[in-house]
Amino acid sequence: MDWNALYSSAFEGVRGRIGRVDRVLLAYNTNIDAIKYLDGRDLRERVEKVGKDKVLRYSDDLPGRIESVPQLLGSILWSIKRGKAAELFVESCSARFYMKHWGWDELRMGGQVGIMANLLGGVYGVPVIAHVPQLSRLQASLFKDGPIYVPKLEDGKVKLVHPKGFAGDEENCIHYIYEFPRGFRVFNFEAPRENRFIGSADDYNTTLFIRDEFREGFDEITKSSPLTIISGLQALTKENYREPFEIIRGHLDVLNEREIPTHLEFAFTPDETVRKAILGLLGRFWSVGLNEVELASIMKVMGEKKLAEKLLASDPVDPVAVTDAMLKLAEKTWVRRIHFHTYGYYLALTDYRGEFVRNALLFAALAAAAKAKLGEINSIDDVVKAMDVPVNEKIKPIEEVLSKVYGMEDGITELNGYQLTFVPTKIVEKPRSTVGIGDTISSSAFMGEFALR
Ligand code: 8BR
Ligand code: 8BR
Ligand code: GLC
């Protein structure tokens, strides 16, 4: 299969038709990402200063939330040791103060909504309406120019303005992101792959605070939005999820009534009660996007323990286990589209057919590689700069398995009344940063499908 030729025509196809996507509504999580690229010596000195013994126990067991500086440093070590991402709410003032003084190398737009708003609106030129829980001046300044809007209530009426024109003087919701490259060393730990630990000094996104504009004006806001992407449910806990879930159910009623295709970006949700509650809502979404850890975590709450283990057992992930899990999820919830992404390839299961599903995935993979390579995509023409990143050769055996087991050809096959679609991705050797690549993939693919339909 000449994947490069398919990549190239998928890109041209989406670029030529992107103007057909009218407006995308994005809710709920937007924040500021303060990114610190870790330095091994600095980290070691900090750990020694607060006490190695106090810190190291958290590198074995991640705490539920951060209540002290040793917990913060220990959690960072937990991520490094495993090369795994983790995100925890930072409750303690002293840890928040410590992170602020430690500082950052870069401030970036954060949160699924913020990242997707800048990509879809600021880069692709697709009009978006975004939910921004707190619009501080700093938060507003991180929005790109372009057709990005937030609703503003004036005399009970919804007006759409660019975030920079909102004139809000609200709180800063800062997520401190500690990034490390593959091979990063501290004490006797060595990171098996690049990743990050996130400490969220944020009381709004973490509890899914929903603004009045979205409580009172939702009906009005959705009138002009033919597509929706929802995210930000991941930090809720069994103690606080009920109230926001009530509002979300109300929002889904409106979206379903209007037949607006809605995608859920399923980020890792540590609380099992919340994960089950999300599973219960999934049938009301058109589409869901997730990675292998997230799919495994859903299989766990569906009682599919063996399958969950299989999903985490090999690298690259066994595509037959992924397909089994996607089928189980689709048959349980009736969600129409599942987009799975992992390091090296994507799979989609849809209850509809067509090459456009594959081409949208290819466009997304090119955007992901561009994001990894450049750190930030500034125009749609930046996306094509990733064409020279080679298609992942390690994925050949995965393609062979899919062809042998399911008779897949050119990345497409039929299975139990669904279309199963596969693409091998382009992997950038030394990515600039890992934050936000998943959001780039999911939003580009979902939007891409509707451009190509
Ligand atoms: P298990 O609980 O099955 O080990 O899976 C945890 C996975 O979710 C890890 O891959 C870890 O990187 C990720 N994760 C994230 Br993101 N946030 C986490 C959190 N708060 N606690 C535990 N794991 C988390
Ligand atoms: P999550 O954060 O949701 O897991 O999404 C990250 C995705 O980014 C991975 O599934 C993988 O497809 C992609 N990715 C990563 Br991580 N590193 C990449 C790289 N260096 N080049 C291209 N894609 C990458
Ligand atoms: C989560 C984090 C946010 C980050 C985003 C990237 O939403 O809270 O800080 O920007 O993931 O995907």
* pLDDT by 10-residue block (mean), the chain, 453 residues: 94 96 96 97 98 97 96 98 95 97 97 98 97 98 98 90 93 97 96 95 98 94 94 97 97 97 97 98 98 97 98 95 98 98 97 98 98 93 95 94 98 98 95 91 98 95
Q: Is 279 in the pocket of ligand 1 (CB under 6 A)?
A: no
Substitution site in 104, 195, 435, 442 for ligand 3 pocket (most atoms within 8 Å of beta carbon)? 435
User: 34-108+174-200 — its CATH code?
Assistant: 3.30.1110.20
Whole-structure pTM value: 0.97
Q: What gap in Å lies between CA 133 and CA 39, rounded to an integer? A: 32
**CB distance 431 to ligand 3 below 6 Å:** no
Q: Which residues contact 6 (CB under 8 A, 6 or more apart)?
A: 358, 359, 362, 410, 411
pLDDT of residue 423: 98
Pocket residue to mutate for ligand 3, from 196, 204, 439, 443, most atoms within 8 A of Cβ: 439
Q: What was the pLDDT predicted at 43?
A: 98
CA distance 338 to 266: 11
State the pLDDT at residue 147.
98
Question: What does the pLDDT read at residue 208?
Answer: 98
Indicate which residue's Cα is closest to atom 5 of ligand 3. Answer: 111
Predicted local distance difference test score (pLDDT) of residue 1: 73
Burial 370-406 (b: 16+ CB within 10 A, else e): bbbbbebbeebebbbebeebebbeebeebbeebbeeb
Catalytic, 439? Answer: yes
Look up residue 425 and give its two tokens. 């991705």
Q: What pLDDT does residue 155 have? A: 87
User: What CATH number labels 3-31+110-163+204-452?
Assistant: 3.40.1190.20
Q: Is the CB of 29 under 6 A from ligand 3?
A: yes
Predicted local distance difference test score (pLDDT) of residue 110? 98
CA dist 328 and 312 (Å) reads 17
- Atom number in ligand 1 closest to CA 64: 20
* 234 Cβ inside 6 Å of ligand 2: no
Tell me, in angstroms, the distance from the centre of ligand 2 to residue 387's CA: 16
Pair 198, 177: CB distance under 8 Å: yes
| Predicted pLDDT of residue 4 | 95
pLDDT number for residue 202: 97
* Domain definitions of the chain by residue range: 3-31+110-163+204-452, 34-108+174-200
Contacts with 251 (C-beta within 8 Å, 6 or more apart), sequence order: 27, 214, 218, 230
C-beta 431 within 6 A of ligand 2 = yes
In angstroms, the CA 5 to CA 171 distance is 48
Predicted pLDDT at 437: 95
Q: What is the pLDDT of residue 348?
A: 98
